Amino acid sequence: MGSVLIRGGRVITAADDYVGDVFIENERISLIGESLDVDADKVIDASGKYVLPGGVDPHTHLDMPFGGTVTIDDVESGQTSAAFGGTTCHVDFVIQPQGSTFAEALDEWRSKANGKQMIDMGYHMAITDLDEGGSLEELAGLPDQGVTSYKLFMAYKGALMVDDETLFRSMQVAADSGALVMVHAENGDAIDVLVKEALAEGKTEPKYHALTRPPETEGEATNRAIQLARVAGAPLYVVHVSCQEAVEPIALAREKGWNVWGETCTQYFFVDYTFLERPNFEGAKFVYTPPPRDKANQDVLWNAVRTDILSAVSTDHCAFNWDGQKTLGQDDFSKIPNGGPGLENRLQMIHEFGVRAGRISLNRMVELLSTNPAKLFGLYPRKGTIAVGSDADVVVFDPDKKHTISASTHHSRVDYNLYEGTEITGSPEVVLLRGNVLVENDELVASPGIGQYVARARFGEELKAETAVA
């Protein structure tokens, strides 16, 4: 791979904002300065453009079995859409099949990625079974393999949900092993009762997905997870926070200085409950969990990301075709595969409606989409910033480039887009992964296999460049 000089761009990190040149060699950033006098194999003129660290998406589901089907994006198509959206690293969820060991689950997920990787990736381990398959000892050893976060589902009874004993034991292991505990916080028992009641009353349409998962069930589970993590001495990360009821306990915990962080997802700023009421089963496109909430929550979430009550914005990209997959629940909302797409549009949407609308600064945007996820998930400073020694994961972003988001032009295999028809100004122009050009002039120029598995550092530790790639 040759050297690259990115000349005269406005370099923006979580902390900095300056005009300068960035020189890349051997896949890393080797020099930053003004008017660098260096020879490079490739020169990119970034004048008038932003130079951003590649996005880090801490929450995705590629090639994942769920509800009798499998997400439509595999590693190649999902990571290709990520690359076009300026995301150069993500952390995907390994879902432990009931009765299997964590090692078996990890091998299965790695085989799905072999030869298909377009960007760099790590894995979280989703624990479904501590009795039969994965033992506590095996769980404690995962951070040695660079898997430094454990996910537990407090929802999806009868499928992925764990009881409080499993949740608490996992937290205790995480406290000792240097892992971060992630929770999907909803009260699965209460929701199960509400779902059964609704179906018994013949309430089958998509809107009942939200009406049987009221925001209080998210608030209750969020608070329960926070209190249990406190007892176990484990750091906690609450995924896809959607409403005020869940923001409040996180705000309280952070005010007290507890080790609690929260993320929201792009879609919760834009899609509200009324989308589920769209006729002709179109509401099913917006069936994901937690569900779209009352519109009043959107201001709550913008305020939470602005004030660092919530520390990251992910996509929870979990794409199912509307026609053929979502339609499995045509006559029963509980059979609609839960999940929405979004891996490609996070930067565009947050830049347009966050930065351009004056809700957050450019620095905060970088922090939410790149730096904080990298720090929380053991990828920093290799990922998540533009600094000498960091991986040359760089997005040259044109703040004036106009684009209309549409399923007809996106790079995911899914047959719809949550933001169909949205006009934005500001989009990636060149995307580099470790100094290799992935996307340029709206064309994919790299081949599958360029992406790598990244073994992540333990929670609170930094990822050293030499030991990072397994």
Give residue limits of the domains in the chain.
1-470
pLDDT at 134: 60
User: Phi first, then psi: what are they for 369, rounded to 5°?
Assistant: -100, -10
Q: How far is C-alpha 55 from the chain's CA centre?
A: 10
Beta bridge partners of 33: 21
| Cα gap 290→124, rounded to integer Å | 20
| Cα gap 315→354, rounded to integer Å | 15
Extract the tokens encoding 183: 């929770």
Q: How far is C-alpha 36 from the chain's CA centre?
A: 35
pLDDT at 464: 80
Helix (H, G, I), strand (E, B) or coil at 258: coil
| Cα gap 97→360, rounded to integer Å | 40
| Cα gap 9→24, rounded to integer Å | 14
From first CA to last CA, the distance across the chain in angstroms is 20
> For 388-397, b where at least 16 C-beta lie within 10 A, e where not — what string?
eebbbbbbbb
Q: Are strands 436-440 and 443-444 parallel, antiparallel or unpaired?
A: antiparallel
pLDDT at 67: 82
User: Phi first, then psi: what are they for 37, rounded to 5°?
Assistant: -100, 80
**Residue type (1 letter), 323:** D
Q: How far is CA 114 from CA 74, 75, 100, in A?
A: 11, 9, 21
Residue of 51, 2, 4, 7 lying closest to 33 (CA atoms): 7
Beta-carbon contacts of 89 under 8 Å, excluding residues fewer than 6 positions away, are: 54, 55, 56, 57, 119, 120, 121, 122, 374, 379, 383, 393, 454
* Residue 276: DSSP 8-state: G
Which CATH number, 1.20.120.530, 3.20.10.10, 3.30.420.40, 3.20.20.140, labels domain 1-470?
3.20.20.140
Q: Which residues of the chain have pLDDT under 50?
A: 467-470
Angle, to 10 degrees, between the axis of helix 296-306 and the axis of helix 244-255?
20
pLDDT at 321: 98
| Cα gap 199→205, rounded to integer Å | 10
pTM as predicted: 0.97
